[in-house]
Amino acid sequence: MTLQASIDAGVTRLDCGGRALDLGRVGVMGVLNVTPDSFSDGGLFLARDRAVDHAIRMVAEGAAIIDIGGESTRPGARGVSVQEELDRVIALIEALQQAIAVPISIDTSKPEVMRAAVAAGAGMINDVRALRAPEALQTAAQLGVPVCLMHMQGEPRTMQEDPRYVDVVQEVKEFLRLRSQACRDAGIHAANIIVDPGFGFGKTLEHNLELLRNLGELATLGTPVLVGLSRKSMIAKVLDLPLERRMIASVALAVVAVQNGANLVRAHDVGATCEAVRMAEAVYRAG
Ligand code: 8Y7
């Protein structure tokens, strides 16, 4: 059965470590930020409480899954150690697992973090490096949870310096096809693979716009498509707006993504994104 056929039949439900993620409708993935500075002082518990409260609010606003990550992948960012990443996310996942009922996704590229996060209650691996780190593929296969494979050209520290493609849509699609194949070869169930073009990860504004315009090409891979457009600098490049004023444009981009076939939308402003996504779905996925 093709993805669209199973969605139409209402049987596309991912098992995220015992929690269901229903892909029969477009899901919003709420971004839970882990602020590193708050963990280096006595504010540790306060920060954790605030993060849990924020996750509870995002779920109330309609989030289908919460994504939590301890490594900054912003352009220019340097890597963090395994221990640092574990310190930032594991106790928070344990607390979240009690506080919310939707699946929790762990945004990491490190096998050690994947293992500890799934043991703590995470039910999906969201890897901006598409399981290319040593042992990441085998670890994800062993853990048996769904994986999101994202395309990135280069590494966060340098990826925005001079991104180049001959044909960005075909190159991203081919990368995702090959990584999906590698996952299946490693024993990851085909139904547990999600792909993501990685907006802003080694891409110019033109690359990002072309990918969004042609998102339907990725949907032909037969795998659910996740997109992350929320508050990204491509908005600043068009509108020259600071981070805190990018919600309306983010929501507009989410609508375009749904129009072009996205199944999951990663967003900071969950309530607004859910309303827009539901409305776009009513128009484009009728019947
Ligand atoms: C994405 C992401 C980020 C994205 C997926 C930001 C962790 C940068 N962006 N994961 N992560 N897709 N799958 O601006 O686009 O949120 S971090």
* CATH number assigned to the domain comprising residue 128: 3.20.20.20
Atom 14, ligand 1: which residue's CA is nearest?
Answer: 232
Does the predicted model carry a pTM greater than 0.85? yes
- pLDDT of 6 reads 58
User: 107: CA distance to ligand 1 center in Å?
Assistant: 8
Q: What percent of the chain has pLDDT over 70?
A: 92
Is the CB–ligand 1 distance for residue 196 below 6 Å? yes
Q: Is residue 73 very low, low, confident or very high in pLDDT (cuts 50, 70, 90)? A: confident
Q: pLDDT of 163-195, one tens digit each?
A: 999 999 999 999 999 999 999 999 999 999 999
Residues 270 and 278: their CA atoms lie apart, in Å, by: 12
Could you report how far apart the first and last alpha carbons of the chain are, in Å? 19
- pLDDT of 285 reads 83
Is the CB–ligand 1 distance for residue 126 below 6 Å? yes
Q: pLDDT of 193-224, one tens digit each?
A: 999 999 999 999 999 999 999 999 999 999 99
Is 266 one of the catalytic residues? yes
User: 287: CA distance to ligand 1 center in Å?
Assistant: 31
Total domain count, the chain: 1
For the cut 70, the answer to whether the pLDDT of residue 8 exceeds it is no
Residues 168 and 173: their CA atoms lie apart, in Å, by: 8
Active-site residue (options: 173, 179, 231, 232): 232
Mean pLDDT of 67-91: 90
User: What domain range is 47 assigned to?
Assistant: 3-284
For the cut 50, the answer to whether the pLDDT of residue 38 exceeds it is no
Is 179 one of the catalytic residues? no
